Structure 1
Amino acid sequence: MIRTFTKYYLFLVCLGISTGVLPHNLHAQSLGTIQGNIQSPNGEPLANINVALQNTSLGSSTNDQGSFTISNIPAGNYTLVATSIGYTARKQNVSVKAGETTQLNLQLNESAQQLKEIEVSGQADRYKVDVPSPTLRIKTPLLEVPQNIQVINREILQDQQIFDMLEGVSRNISGVTKLEHWDNYARLNMRGSRIAPFRNGMNVQSSWGPLAEDMSMVERIEFVKGPAGFMMANGEPSGFYNVVTKKPTGITKGEATLTVGSFDTYRATTDLDGKLSEDGRLLYRLNLMGQTKGSHRPYEYNNRYTVAPVLKYQIDERTSITAEYTYQYAQTGPIGSAYVFSANGYADLPLDFTIAEPNMDPSTVHDHSSFLILEHQLSENWQLTGQVAYFNYEASGSSFWAGGVNEAGDLQRTVSIWDALNVGKFGQFFVNGEVQTGGIKHRILGGLDLGSKRYIADWNQTVNLNGSVPFNIYNPVHSVPMDSLPQFDRSRSLRQRAGGNILSQSYSGVYVQDELHFWEDRLRLTLAGRITSSTDNQYGSETDETKFTPRAGLSVSIDPQTSVYALYDQAFVPQSGVDVNGTAFDPITGNNIEAGLKKDWFDGRWNSTLAVYQITKNNVLVNDPDNINFSTQLGQTQTMGAEVDVRGEVLPGLTLVWNYAFTNSEITEDTEEANIGNPVPGFAKHLTNGWLNYRFSNVLEGFGLSLGYQWQVDRTTWSWAGSTGQEALPDYFRLDGSLSWQSEKFNVALNVNNILNEYLYSGSAYSSYYYWQTEPPRNFRLSLGYKF
């Protein structure tokens, strides 16, 4: 009774906050510019002064004449902060108006000691982001973009103590579900299908890998819902998420954090940011992480470390080059050991049940990635960006699965070798600019995308771990002798062992987008098109496809803080293979129709987005009813839904992330008429999440309280061929909270997850049995941080 009341109470509280009409000031939504000069007390220009807008990621630095420019600023009121070693910091309130340039002249006094660093973030707006990262290429404020784009910033990740993409990231975005995973590989679904992982604007999706990003190196995560021709076309029309890594800011600062927690969790991170040259042209950022972490299941662990250095060199006031490298290492037990199997339905085994063995060799992953980015300001209104990236992922280990289990609980544990290599090469070149034709302003984006991915794996060697003695799930005995453990043959190269287990893709895309602004920016019409060519090879079957995908969007400002939008966009998904007659399959085509309402409240302190959409996917493969070993291309699915997202400071000291999504995804065409109307696997029809954070002032200044929940209703499972049962997954409810205290330099946080100690899991029917993965019971994380 208490748990049920808690669910509905939290839901209603967040719903009331998100829909209440609260007093607010008008907040302009178009862009403005700040230009200025900084001088010493005797009138000499000061070069290499860092200039930033507090509570945003916008900033610049002064040139040799002491001048600076900050462009593409959403209209509103800001605090500008000017800092440099050897000078006393200066703060200045400034108002930015739409379409105008604000002029500032500042003076900095010399300081006898090095500056005490000013943190460029504050309590207000700490969960709200107004502009997309440069890696999304578009220069339009999120309030004006004709699409639902939601951003998880670093403050949310820190408050929730999220370690990597496998944890609570999905709770912060409407309609996103995390499906079962294989240890270090994240799979997120949204709007009826899997969404592609991007990093810094590069589509890095592969069958397995790259390794799920550790949050120590992440600045923000951007969820783009629906197709987006300015980023991709050859992917699922449900959208993608873009992980943006930390870059140098030019401000000398550092932070170290130590964390301990349940299941023998020990973690340390360091974030260093600053200058490597006195003239401020060579900047650096270095993030380090080390972690050892156990599990609520015996014999499971996840030991990781990350090294992520970044260098940025400002060649001149118009041109910069950035080099970034990331190395991630992970060591776990056999992949898939988190799965539990039973012929008698879900959750009939203890929460800590495991099929793993204590003496099996670990699985290891070495993940390398590197970026080289060149940015050049062609003129005041035009910028050229080019970047190349290389990804190399190597895995060596084994994986668990079930060869079968009966009602008495006798389980056949199979262990397969799992060695893999994943290589990705990417290149992007794009230009942003603005031109005026009569009374119409054009915001232009155009560019070229190139990419090549190749994945090879050996999972061909499989052994039965049980031998002649059955492993009974109701009376488990973990005692496999060392000489009975699998001994895999790695004498040949991985390429030789992989055989036909090769998946590759190469693609190229050319796109152009024109955002036309009418009636003093009250109406914006987006017209775009993209031509994408893709060559896909899956297990020896190759297809070549070229597709044109159009995009049209309309955004209208009802008032300076409210906009409505409509969007039509397309995507396509290449498909390999042939039907029984040898005819190659056409690609899946996806159409997205979307409309929404966006609003800033309380002078932009918090924002709400309401979106409705319909996605139709054609040419979906279905089983050939006359030839069970083949597929045929007569399928169609349709996903419809509505989403609400709220984030920001809704009351003084009270910040909120709240969302709700209704999703209905079903089969609309199939060779088997009985399948029409069946749900598409992998979504929850009703999904709502909330996270409330209150930071005290006055007497309890520095103390904070947080409470959050995840609630999934009417969950669907996978639909595997040959499954004899489809027992429904139960509803899912999880309650989390935290206590914290922070001062200028120190912060302490205690997070408790799954406060109600629920038995939480996800899974599916498979063949004649069920499988599922459990989440941890009630657990804690305690962190101590120091800023310097």
Structure 2
Amino acid sequence: MKLYITLFLVFGTFLVRGQQSSTITGSVTNGENEPAAFSNIYINELNRGASANEEGYFELRNIPPGKYTLVVSELGYTTQKHTVTVREGHSLNLDFQLEESVTALQTVEVIGRKEKSYKNTTSFIGAKAEIALKDLPQAVSYATKELIADQGVMRVGDIVKNFSGVNQNTFYDDIIIRGYRINGSSNTQLLNGMRTSTGFWKQPLANYLERVEVLKGPASALFGNASPGGVINRVTKKPLDEERHSISFSTGSFNTLRALADFTGPLTKDKSLLYRINIGYEDANNFRDLQFDKNLVIAPSVSFLPTDKTRVNFDLIYNTSKSRLDRGQSVFKDDLYSTPVSMALSAANDYLNEETYIITMALNHKFTDFLSFSASYIRTGYSEDLLEHRGANRYAVDENGEDIPDKIAMQVFQRKRKRFIDNLSTFFNAKFRTGILEHSLVTGYDYAQEELPRGGSQLQANGYRNATNDSIFTTYDPANKHLYLLDPETGNPVPNVPHFDLTNPVNSQQIKDISKYIYTEREFGPNFYNSHGVYVQDQISWDKLKVLLGLRYEYYTDKLNYTRENEESVHQEALLPRVGVTYSITDNINLYGTYVQGFEPQNASNMDPNLGGPFDPLESNMVEFGGKSTWFNGKMDATLAVYRIEQKNTLYAQAGTDVLAQVGKDRSRGIELDLNGRIFPNWSISASYSFIEAEIIEDADGNRTGIQKPNTPKHQGNLWTRYNITHGPLKDLGIGFGSNFVTERVLQQNSAQTIPGYTILNGALYYTVNKFTLQLNINNIADKTHWVGGYDYIRLFPGTPRNWLLTVGYSF
């Protein structure tokens, strides 16, 4: 028996030795002899690889004996292939030096970004095709997925705090850029450069985004209808031609539970078919009373590259959300600190159910090395099912019509509606020379439409009860109080919906019997509009000088009384030029200047002659000068911009009437600075600062107000930095620190009311063990009471108090 055991052990020892594997280690540097941080090392025959760390060091374990092709690559450098032989039980140590390459840029964003830092080198948003950001004669702020992940944020409203001149306006998908407001329902936000909508009320999860970027200033010459402040572009994660998988789980303040997954790689051996799928689930409460969010996001993406001349991409984003709609904090009249920031006016039986899908298909085909064609189509579907108790935007009144400072007049909405958006973009891109000049010519056609179909409708309960029948008055008139139902104890008019008592919020937030209210009906739709745009744009290059010339013709149609017998088409049009110049002073410093025009058409309902219409579109223009530079061997980008934006044709209601007059004019001018990248391989930074002077220079009476535009701070800034310890007993530990500050702002609907400036401090710790990452984020460390925006003291939007989030991630 002992003999058998001995033979078994000996045989096992030889078997193990026979299966011994080896390790390949080494380092990768670039042409500057700097570490090629996060470069990729891949073994073709084993279909697996690894990424170098911040110092360019890599390690491939458990490599069986054999002869292999080792592929070394990094974005912006020539890919290298090396044949290596791995012998049994022996390890290899190899060093590689990559050479910078000038590669042809994509015209459709099909293959995903491989960079793993706070820096992004190129964008599609500024020129309808990929362009180096340093060559774009317009300011762009951005946040990469690495910065987003390090800060532990999941909403665009939190991400834009990293951008100069950009800030939140409310809790919603509602942003201020250079003093001008855009929101998720305006159909001027972009997804992969295509017009879409997010639904406005709730900000979707951002786990499927590669980056968020803002093109500053009017973008109508590229996209048609657009805000003069700029456009936000959400860039989705695209498939990669290498295997990358990650999952993470988070928990934290307000009973937050979050689970995320990201899988990508080739589906075929020749890498002609690539896939990526992002999944996100969130179940979280809120620091605000009764508020919660339950979200599920599924975002698959497939790229098909049948040849080196043809690329096709398909994206789907499906998001379902269950929550309550939070209309903000109300305070005692003129007393900003009189109620807790947690107080919300919702009732326990309120709900907001939203469902969104976005389908994108993109095709790019190269006829020759100098001529290509691109076509993209995006379809957005959105549905809303809402019940909400909310303030009626005023205080309750007593029998004399005087405000009751501790009670809010209430109203109730029950609403269902749907929205469908289609956007088609087609263009040719031609590269050619005329003498000493190089041209990159883009000419194309865009079509966009939005439809609210039949069935969208709302029941609304508000106002005060009639004394004689089951009807209501929308407002209270003390001169005719005998017409109103009066409270026998107080003599005050009886509201249709009970007032919210700021002194007893618990009672006011209980389940309400909505059958007791008297409702009025309102239609939402059917509505329809479309726009056609044709454009031509040429980037002309000569030595160190680049000139960007563009011209777009936009034809906008809105259907008044859509699908009814008296349907009428309302047309508006615009011719929109764009001129930009970039000059390279040195290899790492570019100066630029630009002039662009923008427009926003008036809604068809504003064309009613009874309201003073028809009206001209809003018209805007911008002049901007600046500089862009790279530092630390190309690892850090900096942009400095000085601009002036003017907009005219703003509508104002005439005193005491519903009649509108197109007499308004406003202006925004300022200075912005953005920094993104790495100082050292293990030290990353993102920082921004802006000074904005945004004011109405001509109001309804033709007077200059001198008042800063609502929710626009004159000064704001951001800093976020991460440092990874690479040596010593604290090796693999990372430390993050950040701060945001804004100065005092006036509110939307009451320029006499302001919200104070604030400075918020945030921090993070990171620890990596093999493929596991442990991350702890602590936000608003000093627990600073602050407000991110507001309309007035009845609708304030407080910032989140001190909170924490613990995340465990695994990459494989």
Relative to the length of structure 2, the TM-score reads 0.78
Pick from 602, 613, 619 the counterpart of residue 575 of structure 1.
602
Pick from 159, 166, 176 the counterpart of residue 176 of structure 1.
166
Report the secondary structure of 2:345's partner residue. coil
Is 1:409–2:414 an aligned residue pair?
Answer: no
**One-letter amino acid matched to 2:177:** M
1:358-437 equivalence runs, <5 A: 358=348, 360-403=349-392, 404-405=394-395, 406-437=403-434
How many angstroms does 1:525 deviate by?
A: 1.0
Pick from 249, 255, 263 the counterpart of residue 258 of structure 1.
249
How many angstroms does 1:423 deviate by?
A: 0.6
Match for residue 707 of structure 1? 737
Is 1:282–2:306 an aligned residue pair?
Answer: no
Is 1:671–2:660 an aligned residue pair?
Answer: no
1:139-171 C-alpha deviation (Å, 9 max, x unpaired): 3311111111122111001000111223x2111
Match for residue 226 of structure 2? 235
Aligned alpha-carbon RMSD (Å) = 3.6
How many angstroms apart in 2 are the aligned matches of 1:739 and 1:129?
24
Match for residue 484 of structure 1? 513
Match for residue 731 of structure 1? 757
How many angstroms apart in 2 are the aligned matches of 1:212 and 1:89?
48
1:316-365 C-alpha deviation (Å, 9 max, x unpaired): 232122221111011002x235443432332310122232233x042111
1:15-30 equivalence runs, <5 A: none
Q: 1:538 to 1:407 in 2, by over 3 A?
A: farther
The answer to whether the 8 A contact 2:114-2:240 is kept is no
The answer to whether the 8 A contact 1:49-1:82 is kept is no
Pick from 556, 563, 572 the counterpart of residue 534 of structure 1.
556
Is 1:752–2:739 an aligned residue pair?
Answer: no
1:522-601 equivalence runs, <5 A: 522-537=544-559, 543-576=570-603, 577-578=606-607, 582-601=612-631
How many angstroms apart in 2 are the aligned matches of 1:26 and 1:730?
50
1:464-483 equivalence runs, <5 A: 470-478=499-507
Q: 1:439 to 1:171 in 2, by over 3 A?
A: same
How many angstroms does 1:630 deviate by?
A: 1.0
Q: 1:538 to 1:356 in 2, by over 3 A?
A: farther
Q: 1:590 to 1:503 in 2, by over 3 A?
A: farther
1:405-444 C-alpha deviation (Å, 9 max, x unpaired): 2444123332211322111011111222311111111111
**One-letter amino acid matched to 1:664:** E
How many angstroms apart in 1 are the aligned matches of 2:197 and 2:419?
10
Match for residue 290 of structure 2? 299
Structure 2 regions of 5+ residues with no counterpart?
1-29, 33-41, 55-68, 87-91, 106-112, 183-187, 396-402, 464-493, 563-567
Match for residue 174 of structure 2? 187
Q: Which has the greater radius of gyration?
A: 2
Is 1:95–2:99 an aligned residue pair?
Answer: yes
Q: 1:51 to 1:238 in 2, by over 3 A?
A: farther
Report the secondary structure of 1:683's partner residue. coil
Q: 1:375 to 1:69 in 2, by over 3 A?
A: farther
How many angstroms does 1:688 deviate by?
A: 0.8
Match for residue 611 of structure 1? 641
How many angstroms apart in 2 are the aligned matches of 1:693 and 1:582?
56
How many angstroms apart in 1 are the aligned matches of 2:124 and 2:330?
40
The answer to whether the 8 A contact 1:50-1:250 is kept is no
Match for residue 453 of structure 1? 450
How many angstroms does 1:389 deviate by?
A: 1.2
Is 1:315–2:345 an aligned residue pair?
Answer: no
How many angstroms apart in 2 are the aligned matches of 1:463 and 1:423?
30
Match for residue 21 of structure 2? none
Is 1:740–2:777 an aligned residue pair?
Answer: no
How many angstroms apart in 1 are the aligned matches of 2:570 and 2:49?
51
Match for residue 709 of structure 2? 680
How many angstroms apart in 2 are the aligned matches of 1:89 and 1:329?
50
Pick from 241, 247, 260 the counterpart of residue 269 of structure 1.
260
The answer to whether the 8 A contact 2:380-2:421 is kept is yes
Structure 1 regions of 5+ residues with no counterpart?
1-24, 28-37, 41-45, 56-65, 102-118, 491-495
How many angstroms apart in 2 are the aligned matches of 1:339 and 1:501?
30
How many angstroms does 1:621 deviate by?
A: 1.2
The answer to whether the 8 A contact 2:663-2:702 is kept is no
1:478-517 equivalence runs, <5 A: 478=507, 484-485=513-514, 499=523, 501-517=525-541
> Once structures 1 and 2 are overlaid, which stretch shifts more, 776-785 or 528-537?
528-537
Q: 1:268 to 1:697 in 2, by over 3 A?
A: same
Match for residue 661 of structure 2? 632
> Once structures 1 and 2 are overlaid, which stretch shifts more, 749-758 or 614-623?
614-623
Match for residue 691 of structure 2? 662
Is 1:353–2:343 an aligned residue pair?
Answer: yes
> Once structures 1 and 2 are overlaid, which stretch shifts more, 361-370 or 345-354?
345-354
The answer to whether the 8 A contact 1:137-1:230 is kept is no
1:18-65 C-alpha deviation (Å, 9 max, x unpaired): xxxxxxx999xxxxxxxxxx999xxxxx9999999999xxxxxxxxxx
User: Which one has more relative contact order, counting CA pairs under 8 Å at least 6 apart?
Assistant: 1
How many angstroms apart in 1 are the aligned matches of 2:805 and 2:103?
47
Match for residue 671 of structure 2? 642
Pick from 137, 141, 152 the counterpart of residue 132 of structure 2.
141
How many angstroms does 1:481 deviate by?
A: 6.9
How many angstroms apart in 2 are the aligned matches of 1:565 and 1:140?
15
Q: 1:399 to 1:91 in 2, by over 3 A?
A: farther
Pick from 765, 771, 774 the counterpart of residue 798 of structure 2.
774
The answer to whether the 8 A contact 2:410-2:498 is kept is no
The answer to whether the 8 A contact 2:31-2:97 is kept is no
Q: 1:257 to 1:98 in 2, by over 3 A?
A: closer
How many angstroms apart in 1 are the aligned matches of 2:343 and 2:277?
40
Q: 1:339 to 1:613 in 2, by over 3 A?
A: same
How many angstroms does 1:135 deviate by?
A: 9.1
Report the secondary structure of 2:754's partner residue. coil
Report the secondary structure of 2:369's partner residue. coil
Pick from 181, 186, 196 the counterpart of residue 204 of structure 1.
196
**One-letter amino acid matched to 1:754:** N
**One-letter amino acid matched to 1:730:** P
**One-letter amino acid matched to 1:340:** S
Match for residue 436 of structure 2? 439
**One-letter amino acid matched to 1:177:** N
Report the secondary structure of 1:159's partner residue. helix
Q: 1:438 to 1:48 in 2, by over 3 A?
A: farther
How many angstroms apart in 2 are the aligned matches of 1:287 and 1:678?
45
How many angstroms does 1:383 deviate by?
A: 2.4
How many angstroms does 1:698 deviate by?
A: 0.9
Match for residue 787 of structure 1? 811
How many angstroms apart in 2 are the aligned matches of 1:26 and 1:95?
5
How many angstroms does 1:548 deviate by?
A: 0.8
Q: Percent same amino acid at aligned positions?
A: 24
The answer to whether the 8 A contact 1:571-1:591 is kept is yes
How many angstroms apart in 2 are the aligned matches of 1:293 and 1:233?
38
How many angstroms apart in 2 are the aligned matches of 1:98 and 1:380?
15
The answer to whether the 8 A contact 1:748-1:783 is kept is yes
How many angstroms apart in 2 are the aligned matches of 1:587 and 1:433?
33
How many aligned positions are there? Answer: 693
Report the secondary structure of 1:263's partner residue. helix
How many angstroms apart in 2 are the aligned matches of 1:728 and 1:83?
64
